[in-house]
Chains A and B, each alone.
Chain A
């Protein structure tokens, strides 16, 4: 009799349906990359266990690994791997500016950013890395469950502010990081974050995700430009006049990013939502590889 339940059910199903597809697409994307050359699967790497060492004065009894000690006369302590070194922390821009698409056929920038981050997380996870999110949201862990948690956390992340700045909290020293954003907002926080990360010895990747319209600026006539969150506005009488200067500013922003990246030892890439995500993922994967993310062998 009541007709309202149908939309509710439909809405909840639609909400519930967002998660698996992202995961599935990410897995699919990652699967396509894994088919290529890699061979970085090494036993023990990224494992919790690091080594047994004899008990030294000052070790508490609780720390003694009794199983190992029982096989010999000496007593051993099970030392754990340094977690920091093998953790890859992701930061995906949750700002409102990411929820932009200039055309219905193109995905939102946020969607593409999540897809790529999750796909790279899947790849890293298979490669034995720990993946987590910066900030307090999700500390780095391994395993399939972590991927699911990542997916859930990524979907949840919808910031209200127009532009988000990179979050360096929880970034372990000498870890690796991936920052995905459009980097169109204020540049100072970005610079600060990267310098801070570099100070901690963190190396990483910057993936700038842009909509084609942001690159081309195909507007004309009298226009009021508003940010997606609606907090900023700029009115022009002749949008076509602004094109050249806008494009110049964007190029400057890109150069700035690239310069900052090279200064801090990061790598920078610009990705457009009109392009295939495959290429961006491939670049991410190679970049992690080049940067010896699995630095055990010391390339």
Chain B
């Protein structure tokens, strides 16, 4: 129901307004409550009657105030909404269909879309319209339900990481049914085929309104390796003004932690829809990339996953001679291994063993002759896209390979013998490298001045030679030649792979040249027919918001479909693992060609942002509260009970409707601090186990009583300490009973604990299990103890030595029993240089208090006593048990004395007295 601009969610509540006049009469008839006063002069009043028999009536304005308050409550509860909607749409009724594209492009505005949906659903709910929601990326036949039901499901609606295909839209159009309804289409704003048909189908059933966001869509095309750099291109929907977006390269750091490895700003020039840029990354870093993402664009289109195309290459290294034992620097493969190790995985072994592993690159260092089988296998591998990298050497120079006619696995014919430059019997001086030609893969690399070539194999001049040279010496002789074989290539370095013939392997240039070669030999994207019949398992999949999730139990995908089929519910974008490689299927293809959606002019297209309706209920209820507060004040004033303090209290309550717990908390904390610091207070850590905490408290009560009774330490009642919230510095000793299921404190709590230990505090850990398993082995509490104390700053420990100061701070003790006895108790280890001096009964040990005492004797149970001083738990049997309890108390006394007096009893001045007592 709507009255003027205000709609009501529960209009029948307004009927209650009719009761207001009755309430007026009742309130008017009831006099204000009397105030009771002490007054000695009452004896004089006895017998005086009121002149005016009529009651002292509540004034009319107070009544009006109360009426207004009640009316505000009634209207507020009726759910008024100030609804500035266009009244024409507001008056519509009949079913409502909300159509959503729900594609990755919708994800950028998902919160806004959801808010809009919520508003529309609320409105439909007020008008009693049945609603259905149709997501085109996941079309289902529309089922009309109440708006409230859809509202409860709204939070579960999510955009999908694909776009509605024509098939999906056809399916949606076919499922619409015969019913007529109004449609509202939340579009993602991208042009796609098949929309017109669906629009026509919707229009045939009722009016259609389209809502789409004017916010720009920016998508990231898959990364392409070009030369040494990763080429990235971002596309936007509409050409606009200058804009810079940042592309983040996500990957794992060497320890495996995901982080941003690099960023690349991409500039959209004004009027352009594409921005491109290259990211130069060391190949080692590149190998660890997992995805690129445009910062701030929370949708799947702004994420592009990387796969094997950026991954580490597998390189098989084969040397012609490995017989020179012990001279590693002369090994033909040493420099190659050094150069390739950071960026590639190297395979070692025999050639025929390695070929089935399908290495990306095979390096033959000074290998001249190959068997026929090897040649054939290599040839096949090369033609399938392998890269064969050969190095010359004495063997190759001495062999007949590619002499008279070009061998299939050699790029050029070679002259016999090669040449030596700079030697005693040869021309001039060693040659340097000539600048790389433009069309060479090495183009642009800096040539160090000190690279010299002293020997090489020479290429026969052939008609094809000039095309195949990609690097040459300063005198024009080829240094590196290359030819394509099928899909692969063969590259020959005319020098050795070690430093024998040239200083090239010693220079950084060598690494860069290898990298260029390896990069240019990247793993090509397989064609669908290559993948026929293979099954690919999803490893990680993207959701519509661009988040990467584990694929879980998603089914495998056929190889051909993986490459060519459109994305959908059964082919999600993500990383897939195949028989021998990983493949990424991205949301955006290599040529996204984003275009804005074109709607026919008859369709009403509006923006997502629409004035939200304003619920007035809260304001009205607040007004009622304010009126009632005023009523309290006025009533108090009328009855003469309005004292300044009360008025302030009422006003304070009215003004601060949200309670300020902070004050009370700080007040409590201050109380606690005062309590803890005005006396010595023993404390125990609250474990969350109520019974255990009670036992610990009773134990400390018992120990406190014992201390009070026997020593000059007179502790107050013990306090339970919450590690997360309470200050620890006030307590000399923390008793920490360990349970197997104790929660691990937070990091700030550990920081506090470490600070506590460093500033002289002591923690008594008690596993209470009699240490049956011994520490370091797996009793549950022992394991928990290990986890609890791992973040603590604890020095090395040892069992209490016979001469530890703990054995004599008050009582002379040799054992520290609790309910259990005879188990070792661990304290800070003595310094390694502590030595017993001749004639002294003990060593001069640590100069401070041991920060922890660890044991499992369940001391708290032995100490525990009730208010009357009766022990709560039995210890041992009979007299021996009582003796054990006594010793437990003595241990407690010694412990507290140790905490409070430190190494006082360690002082050598006590030696004579102690010797006397020890009877020595």
Which A residues fall within an 8 A CB radius of B? Answer: 1, 97-98, 100, 109, 162-163, 182, 184-186, 211, 213-214, 217, 219-228, 232-238, 241-242, 245-246, 249-250, 253
Contacts and interface: CB of A to CB of B under 8 A. Distances in A.
Interface of B: 31-46, 48, 50-52, 55-56, 638-640, 704-705, 708, 714, 716-717
Given A184-B41, A219-B37, 18 more contacts: A1-B708, A98-B40, A184-B40, A217-B41, A222-B34, A222-B55, A223-B34, A224-B36, A225-B41, A226-B37, A227-B38, A227-B40, A235-B34, A237-B52, A237-B55, A238-B50, A238-B51, A242-B50
A272 B31 CA distance: 35
Nearest to A217: B41
Given A1-B714, A221-B56, A237-B55, A227 B42 contact: yes
A220 B640 contact: yes
A234 B34 contact: no
A163 B51 CA distance: 28
A115 to B, nearest CB: 18
Nearest to A102: B39
B50 A250 contact: no
Nearest to A238: B56
Contacts of A217: 41
Contacts of B38: 100, 225-228
Q: Which 10 A-B pairs have the closest CB atoms?
A: A97-B40, A222-B34, A225-B39, A225-B42, A249-B44, A221-B639, A234-B45, A214-B41, A100-B40, A224-B36
Contacts of A225: 37-39, 41-42, 45
A101 B43 CA distance: 16
Contacts of B704: 1
Contacts of B34: 222-224, 235
Interface core residue of B36, B704, B716 (most chain A CB under 10 Å) = B36
A237 B50 contact: yes
Contact of B43 (A227, A238, A241): A227
A194 B51 CA distance: 36
A216 to B, nearest CB: 11
B50 A246 contact: no
Given A221-B35, A223-B34, A224-B36, A184 B43 contact: yes
Contacts of A1: 704-705, 708, 714, 716-717
A237 B31 contact: yes
Contacts of B640: 219-221
A237 B55 CA distance: 6
Given A237-B50, A238-B56, A246 B41 contact: yes
Contacts of A236: 45, 48, 50
A1 B701 CA distance: 10
A157 B394 CA distance: 130
A246 B33 CA distance: 23
Nearest to A213: B39
Contacts of B35: 221-224
18 contacts: A1-B705, A1-B714, A1-B716, A1-B717, A98-B40, A100-B40, A185-B43, A214-B40, A217-B41, A221-B35, A222-B35, A222-B639, A223-B37, A224-B37, A225-B42, A227-B42, A246-B48, A253-B44
Contacts of B638: 221
A241 B51 contact: yes
A200 to B, nearest CB: 28
Contacts of A237: 31, 50, 52, 55-56
A169 to B, nearest CB: 24
Interface core residue of B39, B45, B640, B714 (most chain A CB under 10 Å) = B39
Contact of A184 (B33, B44, B48, B708): B44
B321 to A, nearest CB: 91
A100 B39 CA distance: 8
A241 B42 contact: no
A6 to B, nearest CB: 12
Contacts of B51: 238, 241
A221 B34 CA distance: 8
B40 A182 contact: yes
B708 A241 contact: no
A226 B36 contact: yes
A242 B56 CA distance: 13
Contacts of A224: 34-37
Interface core residue of A1, A184, A245, A249 (most chain B CB under 10 Å) = A1
Contacts of A227: 38-40, 42-43
Contacts of B43: 162-163, 184-186, 227, 232
A245 B43 CA distance: 13
A236 B43 CA distance: 14
Contacts of A184: 40-41, 43-44
A260 to B, nearest CB: 17
A221 B704 CA distance: 59
A214 B43 CA distance: 11
Interface core residue of B38, B40, B50, B716 (most chain A CB under 10 Å) = B40
A108 B358 CA distance: 108
B40 A241 contact: no
Nearest to B701: A1
B32 A232 contact: no
Contacts of A221: 32, 35, 56, 638-640
B180 to A, nearest CB: 68
A182 B41 CA distance: 9
B31 A228 contact: no
A58 to B, nearest CB: 55
B408 to A, nearest CB: 101
Contacts of B33: 222
A214 B38 CA distance: 11
A226 B714 CA distance: 51
B56 A226 contact: no
A254 to B, nearest CB: 11
A242 B48 CA distance: 8
Contacts of B716: 1
A224 B33 CA distance: 10
B422 to A, nearest CB: 99
Nearest to B679: A1
Contacts of A245: 48
A117 B716 CA distance: 48
Nearest to A248: B44
A217 B33 CA distance: 20
Given A222-B32, A241-B51, A234 B37 contact: no
B31 A246 contact: no
A182 B35 CA distance: 24
A226 B35 CA distance: 11
Contact of B45 (A109, A163, A242, A253): A242
B46 A234 contact: yes
Nearest to A98: B40
Contact of A241 (B39, B41, B50, B639): B50
A226 B42 contact: yes
A220 B32 CA distance: 12
A181 to B, nearest CB: 11
B48 to A, nearest CB: 6
Nearest to B715: A1
Nearest to B714: A1
Nearest to B31: A222
Contacts of B37: 219, 223-226
Contact of B42 (A220, A222, A233): A233
B182 to A, nearest CB: 63
B222 to A, nearest CB: 76
B44 A238 contact: no
Nearest to A163: B43
A228 B40 contact: yes
Contacts of A238: 50-52, 56
Contacts of A98: 40
Contacts of A228: 38, 40
Nearest to A215: B41
Contacts of A232: 42-43, 46
A69 to B, nearest CB: 60
Interface core residue of A182, A213, A224, A234 (most chain B CB under 10 Å) = A234
A65 B301 CA distance: 132
